[in-house]
């Protein structure tokens, strides 16, 4: 029997996930809920979803919904993830899982209490390219890893309120910087063999809007393995999104990380390994499904485990605490 999904919110990201479920092998779309019945109905018609609801509570009361995908504004994640768990639904919640480490703890406690699956939707972690990156580091192909450089930044000329309002969890760090911290920590985990690592030191600076929201931010982490990480993110400045991992024998470069929009459909992704002698190797990863389809099937495959191995509850806690520290460092 396929995993029956209910979509809790009907915005742009929900539409991307819905397209993914339509491609998946193990899942199907059963219901969608929005803050108005009209909006939910229009979304349901667009994706041929059988049921639509004008309130989130109605969707959670539907016995034919097994799992919910939460893509509400950030401050609502904790509330509805807990309510979904209390309703006995499995939960895939968009990143960041919550706005703080303390709220992330609360959500995980709800999942444990109700014995349901819970995962933060860092879909990039299940991309084959990330598995290749981990394997290359673990194999010693880069030598001793010394540093990582990650950028995820874009220019939004008419930024939505969710980015510019502190009350809505606005700012670049929570919107896209969370990917940077997650990736830097992944590199440290691969290099050290540790799980759910957290930085030993965190510092940072940001260009703040008058209301205190971080528009452009940079962070510097010292991670286990004495690995230094340089992070750059924002929603008011277009930069070259990339990942660079530096070892004492080689460096790895990804010009188009799998989290950017152009890399989410099925296709080929590339990275370049450059050795200290100047020799280069181009490494490709082929995906047969879009990233959201793969994510939906990944959840279905790990329902019995109650969490996804690549994005475990401890991973989410470690990332949340790192984000808390970065925000505190920049004064956001």
Instruction: Clarify whether 19 is annotated catalytic.
Output: no
Catalytic residue among 95, 270, 284, 289: 95
Beta-carbon contacts of 237 under 8 Å, excluding residues fewer than 6 positions away, are 153, 154, 155, 215, 216
Cα–Cα distance, 70 to 94 (Å, whole number): 6
For the chain, the residue count is 332
Handedness of CA 121, 127, 129, 134 (dihedral sign): positive
DSSP string, 85-142: HHTT-EEEEPSSSSSSHHHHHHHHHHHHHHT--EEE--GGGGSHHHHHHHHHHHHTTT
CA torsion 112-70-167-82 (nearest 10°) is -20
- The residue behind tokens 């919550």 is 98
Pairing of strands 3-8, 27-33: parallel
According to DSSP, the residues that pair with 149 across neighbouring strands are: 230, 244
Distance of CA 188 to the CA centre of its chain: 18
Pairing of strands 3-8, 67-70: parallel
According to DSSP, the residues that pair with 52 across neighbouring strands are: 32
Beta-carbon contacts of 41 under 8 Å, excluding residues fewer than 6 positions away, are 52
Pairing of strands 145-153, 227-234: parallel
Cα–Cα distance, 325 to 235 (Å, whole number): 20
List the one residue out of 162, 207, 235, 165 whose CA is nearest residue 330: 207
Give me the active site residues, please. Answer: 95
């Amino acid at each position: 029997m396929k995993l029956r999904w209910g979509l809790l919110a009907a915005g742009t990201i929900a539409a991307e996930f819905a397209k993914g479920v339509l491609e998946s092998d193990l899942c199907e779309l059963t219901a969608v809920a929005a803050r108005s019945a009209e909006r939910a109905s229009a979304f349901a018609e667009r994706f041929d979803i059988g049921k639509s609801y004008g309130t989130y509570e109605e969707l959670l009361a539907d016995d034919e919904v097994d799992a919910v995908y939460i893509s509400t504004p950030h401050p609502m994640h904790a509330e509805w993830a807990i309510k979904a768990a209390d309703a006995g639904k499995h939960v895939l919640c968009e990143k960041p899982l919550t706005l703080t480490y303390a709220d992330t703890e609360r959500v995980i406690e709800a999942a444990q209490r109700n014995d349901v699956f819970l995962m933060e939707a860092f879909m990039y972690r299940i991309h084959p390219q990330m598995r290749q990156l981990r394997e290359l580091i673990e194999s010693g192909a880069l030598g001793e890893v010394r540093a990582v450089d990650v950028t995820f930044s874009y220019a939004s000329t008419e930024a939505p309120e969710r980015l510019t309002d502190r009350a809505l969890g606005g700012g670049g760090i929570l919107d896209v910087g969370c990917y940077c911290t997650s990736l830097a920590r992944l590199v440290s985990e691969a290099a050290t063999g540790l799980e759910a690592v957290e930085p030993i030191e965190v510092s940072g600076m940001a260009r703040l809007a008058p209301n205190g929201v971080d528009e452009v931010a940079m962070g510097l982490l010292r991670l286990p393995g004495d690995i230094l990480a340089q992070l750059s993110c924002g929603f008011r400045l277009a930069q070259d999104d990339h990942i660079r991992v530096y070892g004492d024998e080689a460096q790895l470069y990804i010009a188009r990380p799998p989290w950017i929009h152009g890399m989410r459909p099925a296709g080929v992704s590339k990275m370049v390994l450059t050795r200290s002698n100047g020799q280069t190797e181009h490494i490709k990863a082929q995906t047969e499904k879009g990233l959201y389809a793969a994510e939906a099937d990944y959840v279905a495959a790990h329902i019995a485990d109650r969490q996804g191995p690549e994005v475990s509850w401890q991973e989410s806690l470690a990332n949340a605490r790192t984000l808390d520290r970065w925000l505190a460092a920049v004064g956001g």
